[in-house]
Structure 1
Amino acid sequence: MSTKHPRPDDNPWVFSTRELGRRPGTQRTVQRTVPAPDGDAEIGLAGVITIPGGSDVELDLSFESVTEGVYVSGTAHARLEGECSRCLDPISDEVDIRIGELFAYPDSATEETTDADEIPRLVEERIDLTQQVRDAVVTDLPMAPLCTPDCPGLCAGCGARWADLPPDHGHETLDPRWAALTERLPTTE
């Protein structure tokens, strides 16, 4: 029994460069809407803010053949979902990122003089943009997203949202060093 492996053409994040050949200056543009990866491959900061798996990522790209490979430039647009880092309310936003990446041809001087983790490679005249979009989105995301710039967060004493509490809300805190003294002194009521 053989396991069917998906062809690269089945992955909407993979683009063919065959029609560009290796003719520097040849260019083509592509607009494509692709589903965001989900699960472990989700794009964003897991547990903080991400592009929801399966949601649309709109790509507007230009592929240009250059001497050493194919230069990909353009933009990606997607919806973000996460939670406010102060009050934990759900938030949603949108992200627009710029992409600019050279994919080296096999047997080019660039391929021979760089590591694969420095400059990505064309594989069988195809480019997989998943990692480039992921890297661009993650570097553009806030590390601590907020629902509003002045979000007051949560009360440290009870965990309620400060925005929902009355202005005079507070908790009496007693310095533990004085706790034994309060047990010996009479209370006045």
Structure 2
Amino acid sequence: MSANPFLISTHDLGRSPGSHRDYSLTVPAPADLGTDVIGVPEGAELELQLGLTAVSDGVLATLAGTVPLAGECVRCLTPLQRQQAVQATEMFFYPSARLAAAHGEDDDEMAELSGEGIDFEPLLRDAVVLDLPFDPLCRPDCRGLCPDCGLPWAELPADHGHSVIDPRWAALAALQTPQEDK
């Protein structure tokens, strides 16, 4: 096995259109597979299914699986643990077919087969990161934190409140209290 767990050899697949191979893989999650608030923990074991199908211009790769997510709610900062389904499909072109197919297409957008096989880490990264929630929440109705004491609203009583007086109006509070020294 190669040093890169995401590199799959296409040697056994051959170049006959219609040839197909399925792989069940357990790979460690790469670093930085996520955003600042939610992502796949580095080194977590990922159970993935990879299907490779030879077509006339290259190899069609289909990726499926479930990945663990860890992060925190953006409103109340509660730790989150979830599972996310991953599905992706990518066409990897043979070098000669890529040149022929590139007319009018952005060359950088077209994946190319290397001599060794298919590195499916970019496919996995795109499938996971592009499907992550932009603002992950612990619950859809999460109210966040109390702006005065910083405790989660979910843990506070319904009548929770603070009597904070705006310093600009504090002098007026003295006019409201009866003065007993007269």
Asked whether the two chains share a fold, i.e. TM above 0.5, the reply is: yes
- Matching residue's letter, 1:18: H
For 1:122, the equivalent position in structure 2 comes to: 113
For 1:52, the equivalent position in structure 2 comes to: 41
For 2:131, the equivalent position in structure 1 comes to: 140
8 Å contact kept, 1:105–1:111:
no
- Structure 1 residues 188, 66: CA separation in 2 closer, same or farther (over 3 Å shift)? farther
- Structure 1 residues 9, 139: CA separation in 2 closer, same or farther (over 3 Å shift)? same
Mapped to 2, the partners of 1:113 and 1:30 lie a distance apart of 34
Mapped to 1, the partners of 2:108 and 2:178 lie a distance apart of 72
How far does the alpha carbon of each residue in 1:66-118 deviate from its partner, in whole angstroms, 9 at most, with x for none?
Answer: 11110001303111100011110111000111111001111112356644431
**TM-aligned CA deviation for residue 173 of structure 1:** 4.2
8 Å contact kept, 2:48–2:63:
yes
Matched residues, number: 177
- Structure 1 residues 188, 56: CA separation in 2 closer, same or farther (over 3 Å shift)? farther
Two-structure CA RMSD over aligned residues (Å) = 2.1
- Structure 1 residues 15, 118: CA separation in 2 closer, same or farther (over 3 Å shift)? same
Mapped to 2, the partners of 1:174 and 1:60 lie a distance apart of 60
Mapped to 1, the partners of 2:68 and 2:37 lie a distance apart of 14
For 1:110, the equivalent position in structure 2 comes to: 101
1:18 maps to 2:8: no
Q: Name the % identity.
A: 46
Mapped to 1, the partners of 2:49 and 2:121 lie a distance apart of 14
Aligned counterpart in structure 1 of residue 25 of structure 2, from 25, 32, 36: 32
Aligned counterpart in structure 2 of residue 171 of structure 1, from 123, 139, 162: 162
Q: Could you state the TM-score of these two structures normalised by the residue count of structure 1? A: 0.85
- Matching residue's letter, 1:144: D
8 Å contact kept, 1:20–1:65:
yes
8 Å contact kept, 1:50–1:81:
yes
- Matching residue's letter, 1:53: E
Aligned counterpart in structure 2 of residue 160 of structure 1, from 142, 151, 163: 151
Mapped to 1, the partners of 2:149 and 2:135 lie a distance apart of 22
Q: Which runs of 5+ in 2 are unaligned?
A: none
Q: Could you state the TM-score of these two structures normalised by the residue count of structure 2? A: 0.88
Mapped to 2, the partners of 1:112 and 1:129 lie a distance apart of 25
- Choose 103-112 or 71-80, whichever is displaced more: 103-112
Mapped to 2, the partners of 1:33 and 1:116 lie a distance apart of 31
Q: Which runs of 5+ in 1 are unaligned?
A: 1-7
Runs ≥4 residues deviating over 6 A:
none
Larger-gyration structure (1/2): 2
- Structure 1 residues 188, 144: CA separation in 2 closer, same or farther (over 3 Å shift)? farther
- Matching residue's letter, 1:59: L
- Structure 1 residues 132, 170: CA separation in 2 closer, same or farther (over 3 Å shift)? same
- Matching residue's letter, 1:67: S
